[in-house]
Amino acid sequence: MSVPAIRIRGLRYSYPGGHEALAGIDLDIDEGERVALLGPNGAGKTTLMLHLNGVLTATAGTVEISGHTLSRNTIRDIRRRVGLVFQDPDDQLFMPTLAQDVAFGPANFGVRGAELDARVAHALAVVSMTELADRNPAHMSGGQRRRAALATVLACEPEVLVLDEPSANLDPVARRELAETLAGLDATMLIVTHDLPYAAQLCDRAIVMDGGVIVADGPVGEVLSDADLLSAHRLELPWGFSVVPAPARRPSAGGC
């Protein structure tokens, strides 16, 4: 059997003060899967996300990425394998030009010269921003900055891509442009979102968290069609939106 891209066992985490944000998470995500992580505010979604490359350290339990257990000795390798795209692009864009921002991550992992130039060029092409390479990200639109932040992660060539609320605060055109970019990526993907239509558009599988535990896990169409489940966990589809379950996309072995 193939090794899961993500394997989590017994994961627990308590914040200072004693609040248990994760109360024993078991989760497998196969290579090439696209999974939506849903749940109300305070469910533990972002806390779980921050454990995937060691931003937070678990109180108990284990995280494995492609068979490699996250530990003090492996954290640098895990961070190369798992790319996090945060909700706020300001967390990832801080250099004078977009090209410099995109180069920062791979350069930090030791990539130099022609290979670094090629990675920057490829990442910018993937997000359709080649012509903006020399522009200051501070002068870009919100949608451009969101795609720019994605490019900074793609340049590191991660095996797993994790996105926190990627569609938040985007206008309809920027939302569509980002969705088209993400749909074109051949990558294992975990999307943390409150945007249920975005989850239906991009993901094959949906996981619902609440109170630090997983309360549902299944095909995205089935999960989003369960009105009682959504209501019980403060999730709601927009008025007039209906989910038509589609055949699952077959996971493939490609990376970013």
Strands 188-192 and 34-38: parallel
Instruction: Map residue 34 onto helix, strand or coil.
Output: strand
Domain range summary for the chain, segments of one domain joined by +: 6-232
pLDDT at 236 over 60: yes
| Structure confidence at residue 96 (pLDDT) | 96
Residue 155's nearest CA partner among 186, 127, 132, 184 is 127
| Structure confidence at residue 244 (pLDDT) | 61
pLDDT tens string 157-193: 999 999 999 999 999 999 999 999 999 998 899 999 9
The full DSSP string for 88-123 is SGGGT--SSSHHHHHHHHHHHTT--HHHHHHHHHHH
Using 50, 70 and 90 to split pLDDT, how confident is the model at 1? low
Tell me phi and psi for residue 18, to 5 degrees.
100, -10
CATH classification for the domain delimited by 6-232, as one of 1.20.81.30, 3.40.50.300, 3.10.450.50, 3.30.365.10: 3.40.50.300
Quick one: which H or E segment has residue 79? helix 75-81
Quick one: which H or E segment has residue 23? strand 20-29
Number of alpha helices (DSSP H) and beta strands (DSSP E) in the chain? 9, 10
- The Cα diameter of the chain in Å comes to 55
pLDDT at 247 over 50: no
C-beta of residue 211 within 8 angstroms of C-beta of residue 233: no
